[in-house]
Amino acid sequence: MTVDTLIRNVHIAPMTAEVTNGQEYGNTGAIALKNGLIHWMGSEHEANNIESSETIDGGGYWLTPGLIDCHTHLVYGGQRSREFELKLQGASYEQISREGGGIVSTVSETRKLSEAQLFEVSSQRLRCLLNEGVTTVEIKSGYGLDIQNEVKMLRVARMLGENHPVSVRTTFLGAHALPAEFSNKDAYIRFLIKEVLPEVHRLKLADAVDFFCEGIAFSRAQCESICQAAKSLGLPVKGHVEQLSNLRGASLVAEYAGLSVDHLEYLHEDDIPLIKKAGVTAVLLPGAFYFLGETHLPPVESLRKHQVPIAIASDLNPGSSPIASLLNVMNLACVQFKLSPLEALLGVTRHAAGALGLQDSIGQIKQGYDADLVLWPIESPAQLSYGMNLVKPERIFKAGKQVQAAQAC
């Protein structure tokens, strides 16, 4: 057998169902990569029969799938440190939003930037994720809220994937907030459905459609209109749901067999079986929970009981989760939500892939899957969740090729 790359002397955490159901990590000796895919795995002894263009000594380190950040808003302009000060003085997320801050303030700053400027500032944030072994990232629009700027954001997101060693999945989030030029939410939803989403779809800029179902955003009925429009175009849906209250947005996503329901602090337990039956992934966003000082925990134990896949994401955004570190978010998930380190690692690999509809190609170390891999200088995978800013990848592979970490992020 001849392959492109042979990695020897490694512990492998495959994150497959067969291994992780037993609460044990794998421990295979070698792995071979060919044509950008995982071609073979086996023992050190078996590896002696493999010829390769390149052989790498893994030094006894741990190899995981490339990390997947399945919920980000990293394409945006400006920053909101003033709002951070207001929150410290006691202002709530809802108060800031109602007074013209929050999402609409970022919309104003994002609209001011050219495509090139937006690409540059967003690249800086993306590099922080890439340096920690993220090889796939989802990027949402939602700070444009008109045709020109929603298209601009999604184009920039696509450009990031074309110019950096990362796979980018784009999500249209026009139903994020009511822009200043609209006074009626129903009229704005009609505008999204009749004008913005069709143009985004015509340009093939979105892999999915998202909405913010919340009192400060849009009602369940308004979000259902978005779901219907997405379905008519053949686009899967996702939802920002049950973050601040329970409007049963999660059950709406389940009704449309969507990809994921995200946030979930106020998820009602009656809706959990619906999510499970529909094959929807639950995405927890501990960065937003931490940054907003929330206290109402998502129903993690019930999600476990019903065996709903739990993913974790950074929710990188300027207002409620300005955190460009998926590793730190893994730690927050363990400390705040009491996930185990194994659950946290599953949440940024196999289950994160499911939240993007990519469960058959990434998120596991498995023959035939993409060779997106990270070699970590650690003694146990639990170290990835254990500390903050204590671990960095030794090597990163994207589609079988080694990736150089950026000099700065």
Show the tokens assigned to 290. 């931490």
Residue 183 neighbours by CB distance under 10 Å: 8
Q: What are the start-end ranges of the H helices in 256-387? A: 272-278, 286-291, 300-305, 326-337, 341-347, 350-355, 383-386
pLDDT per residue rounded down to tens, the chain (409 residues): 899 999 999 999 999 986 665 555 667 799 999 999 999 999 999 999 999 999 999 999 999 999 999 999 999 999 999 889 888 898 887 788 777 788 889 999 999 999 999 999 999 999 999 999 999 999 999 999 999 999 999 999 999 999 999 999 999 999 999 999 999 999 999 999 999 999 999 999 999 999 999 999 999 999 999 999 999 999 999 999 999 999 999 999 999 999 999 999 999 999 999 999 999 999 999 999 999 899 999 999 999 999 999 999 999 999 999 999 999 999 999 999 999 999 999 999 999 999 999 999 999 999 999 999 999 999 999 999 999 999 999 999 999 999 986 666 6
Per the CB < 8 A criterion, the answer to whether 191 and 143 are in contact is no
For the chain, domain boundaries: 2-65+364-403, 67-355
Identity of the residue numbered 136:
T
Contact 382, 395 (CB under 8 A): no
The domain 67-355: what is its CATH number?
A: 3.20.20.140
Could you name the CATH architecture of 2-65+364-403? Answer: Roll (2.30)
Please indicate, yes or no, whether the overall pTM of this predicted structure exceeds 0.95. yes
